Each structure stands twice: as structure tokens, then as C-alpha cells.
Homo-oligomer: A and B are copies of this chain.
Amino acid sequence: MSDSLKTVITDTQNKFIADPSKALATFSSSSALQEGLRSEVQMRDHTITVDEPESLGGTDAGPNPVELILGALGSCQEITYRAYATALGIPLENVSVKLDGHIDLRGFFGVDDSVPAGYQKITGTVTLESTASEEQLQNLRAAVNAHCPVLDILTRPLPVELELEIKEIAV
């Protein structure tokens, strides 16, 4: 596995160096609200159900959107650790991540407009199991945090442009 992953990484890097335009990619999602607060989300061939817990007015049929943000960050850290450990030749047996997102729900519920709607901060722990030295793993951590896409998306202000399309229904 590691050998083939290393080949994928090296081949991809060489492809992007030769022609940077090949590195431009678009990922997409398509979602629709169902009964209540439940949403079905499609990403290529993959579908997930998103919902709110009952305490927030949903039926708890799936994780809620802000939990998905944590799941995206945790899995992105893990994938980036595996990719960079492989590329740098640093042994890595296991990687796992626990995250907490701290939120003041007065923001979402419109009770106080000085309170942000989203997380105030995310805290957590990345656990590595490895035979590598502490110095190697600290170097790995620096490489991962400089190249983890979701960490970059969350810590940098991202431009989001949403158009509104209205389909009128006759009364």
C-alpha cells in the first residue's frame, strides 16, 4: 500500500510541476432538504444524511452540519499525516484525531447579533503511533499543518459566493 501511495504522490507532483493547469480541480456537492430539518447530501457517488438532534428541532437521522466540519478536519488531518509520512519516509503505524467545536448557540438562534453563528474555536488532539523519533514526528506535524486542505479552509477567511434562484409556486 505504502509503495503504491508513494508512487501516486510522486507521479502527481511531477505532473503538476510539468503542467500547473492540471492541478486545478473542482469538487461538488448537491443537497436537498427533506422532511423537517433533514437533508440528503450527494457528493459524486456518495450520499450522506444530515439532520439536527431532537433538542435542536430535528429527528437525529445523521450528524449535523457543524459536526461534519469536525469530521472533515479530523479525517483531513489523518489523510495528510499518512500522505506526508509516506512521502517523507517517516514510519507511522496509526493516526487518530479527537476534536471539540465550541459554540454559543445564541448566534444561530438570533438572540444576540454580537455572537458569531459558528464555532468560537476548535480544540483537539492528534494521536500518532510510530517508531519514529520525536524530532521526525515534529517535522511531520509541521509539514501536515502547512498542507492540510481543511485546516487551511478553516483558519483562512474563504470567499463564498451563493446565488439565489427562486422558483415561484402559484398560491
Contacts and interface: CB of A to CB of B under 8 A. Distances in A.
Given A29-B74, A110-B147, A165 B119 contact: no
A52 B57 CA distance: 33
B149 A79 contact: no
A130 B12 CA distance: 46
Interface string A115-148: 1111111111111111100100110010101111
Contact of A118 (B83, B150, B160): B150
Nearest to A58: B79
A151 interface: yes
A170 B16 contact: no
Contacts of A146: 110, 113, 117
Contact of A65 (B79, B131, B158, B165): B79
Interface in A24-66: 24-33, 35-37, 39, 41, 43-46, 48, 50, 52-53, 56-58, 60, 62-66
A74 B149 contact: no
Given A29-B74, A79-B37, A96-B32, A121 B160 contact: yes
Contact of A43 (B67, B127, B159): B67
A24 B104 contact: yes
Contacts of A145: 162
Interface string A81-109: 11110010000011111111111111111
Interface of A: 1, 4-5, 8-9, 12-13, 16-17, 20, 23-33, 35-37, 39, 41, 43-46, 48, 50, 52-53, 56-58, 60, 62-84, 87, 93-113, 115-131, 134, 137-138, 141, 143, 145-171
